[in-house]
């Protein structure tokens, strides 16, 4: 692992796939022009619309999303995480997986993770979310992928951030940098998003790259934004706030080693 720049993208996706991918491409290019070698796109980057539209267009969304990630990685010679998009089920056309895919500069897939924890919540602002009505949960822990100079990268998606056992698994598997791409609701985000990200960074002494959705997507669906990168001590290195843009910061192995020496909590664990 060597020092490098990473970018967490903050965007406002809508039900318009082509519009979303054009927006994502602009932000990827912005990140590349500023030197980023690792770029994370948020959950639902290619489509954020009504459930019935998602199911009806699942094949098209999945195909366009995967081709887009490959094309962007190859064009800009960077490693890219597509932080979550619907991928169809063979056995049940009424549901999809919420899938994150990590793609190398040569266009080859490095890792794939199907979201395990589904957001079935009645938020106090009056919005009801029922992700499991159209999404089939994955059934395995996310993987850690050794990407050479970029380090050991762990994957997760959005609501997973509230389940620390996921991130303890990733740290046990050697994760040095953990992606938490999200479409965090505006209501819960203002109170919980930042503190949860910092907790996951601190307790696992790992860098956190957290791409995010922001603003109004359709009807009353609004996201909190604040894509950010956090260091292993829990310090926020950069944040987009609520604006569309990128959070750019250095991932530094010396800083990682320093924190893990100063605070060796992973080695002090008693219970497995």
Measured on CA atoms in the order 43, 61, 73, 241, is the torsion positive or negative?
Answer: negative
Give long-range contacts, CB 8 A cutoff, 24+ apart: 158-161.
Answer: 158/43, 158/84, 158/115, 158/119, 158/182, 158/183, 158/184, 159/115, 159/117, 159/118, 159/119, 159/131, 160/115, 160/116, 160/117, 161/196, 161/197, 161/200
- State the Cα–Cα distance between residues 193 and 195, nearest whole angstrom: 6
- Residue 115: active-site member: yes
Please identify which of the residues 43, 54, 64, 222 carries the catalytic annotation.
43
For the beta carbon of residue 118, count every other beta carbon within 10 angstroms: 20
Question: DSSP 3-state assignment of 130?
Answer: strand
Active-site choice (115, 145, 152, 176): 115
> How large is the angle between the packed helices 58-76 and 17-33, nearest 10 degrees?
20
Are the CB atoms for 12 and 214 separated by under 8 Å?
yes
| Residue 158 a catalytic site member | yes
The closest of 210, 201, 215 to 259, measured between CA atoms, is 201
- Catalytic status, residue 128: no
Q: Read off the DSSP letter of residue 23.
A: H
User: Among the options 10, 37, 152, 158, which is catalytic?
Assistant: 158
Closest CA to 68 of 50, 53, 55, 81: 81
Catalytic site positions: 43, 115, 158
């Amino acid at each position: 692992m060597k020092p490098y720049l990473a970018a967490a993208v903050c965007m406002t996706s809508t039900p318009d796939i082509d519009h979303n991918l054009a927006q994502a491409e602009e932000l990827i290019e912005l990140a590349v022009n500023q030197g980023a070698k690792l770029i994370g796109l948020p959950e639902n980057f290619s489509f954020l619309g009504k459930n019935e539209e998602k199911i009806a267009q699942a094949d098209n969304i999945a195909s366009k999303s995967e081709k887009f990630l490959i094309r962007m990685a190859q064009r800009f010679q960077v490693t890219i995480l597509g932080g979550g998009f619907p991928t169809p089920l063979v056995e049940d056309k009424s549901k999809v997986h919420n899938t994150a895919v990590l793609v190398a500069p040569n266009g080859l897939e490095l890792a794939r993770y199907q979201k395990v924890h589904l957001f079935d919540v009645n938020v106090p602002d009056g919005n009801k979310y029922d992700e499991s009505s159209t999404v089939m949960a994955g059934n395995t822990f996310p993987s850690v992928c050794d990407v050479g100079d970029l380090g050991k990268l762990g994957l997760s998606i959005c609501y997973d951030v509230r389940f620390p056992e996921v991130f303890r698994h990733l740290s046990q598997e050697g994760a040095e940098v953990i992606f938490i791409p999200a479409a965090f609701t505006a209501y819960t985000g203002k109170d919980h998003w930042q503190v949860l990200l910092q907790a996951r960074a601190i307790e696992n002494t790992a860098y956190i790259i957290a791409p995010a959705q922001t603003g109004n997507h359709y009807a009353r669906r609004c996201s909190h934004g604040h894509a950010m990168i956090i260091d292993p001590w829990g310090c926020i290195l950069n944040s987009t706030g609520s604006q569309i843009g990128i959070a750019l910061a250095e991932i530094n192995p010396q800083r990682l080693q320093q924190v893990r020496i100063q605070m060796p909590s992973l080695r002090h664990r008693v219970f497995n």
